[in-house]
Amino acid sequence: MNDVRSRGFTARQADIISDLIRSGEPIEVSEVASKYRVSNATARRDLLMMVDRNLVVAVKRGHKILYQYSKK
């Protein structure tokens, strides 16, 4: 986790990444918002920043966009 923190992520963002790695399951913005008690907009910004840094990929499933850890 210190490696993630040293890359400029907040503690919350590092926790989100750790959770995604541990679970291996995709997550919705609303799940992140609820679990970390932030707004949907903040959760979305966190996840999109992770997408920009190639740590997370966005996957469209029907009308939902899910985010999962990128194994690249």
Residues 6+ apart with CB under 8 A from 53: 7
What was the pLDDT predicted at 8? 82
Q: Is the pTM of this model over 0.85?
A: yes
Q: What is the mean pLDDT of residues 2-21?
A: 83
- Sequence spans of domains, the chain: 2-69
Half-sphere exposure of 19 (CA within 13 A, CB side): 15
* CATH (one of 3.50.50.60, 1.10.10.10, 1.10.287.370, 1.10.3720.10) for 2-69: 1.10.10.10
User: What pLDDT does 3 receive?
Assistant: 62
Question: What pLDDT band is residue 71 in, cutting at 50, 70 and 90?
Answer: confident
Enter the DSSP assignment of 60.
E
Q: 20-61, pLDDT tens digit by residue?
A: 999 999 999 999 999 999 999 999 999 999 999 999 999 999
- The partner residues of 57 in beta bridges, in order of sequence, read 68
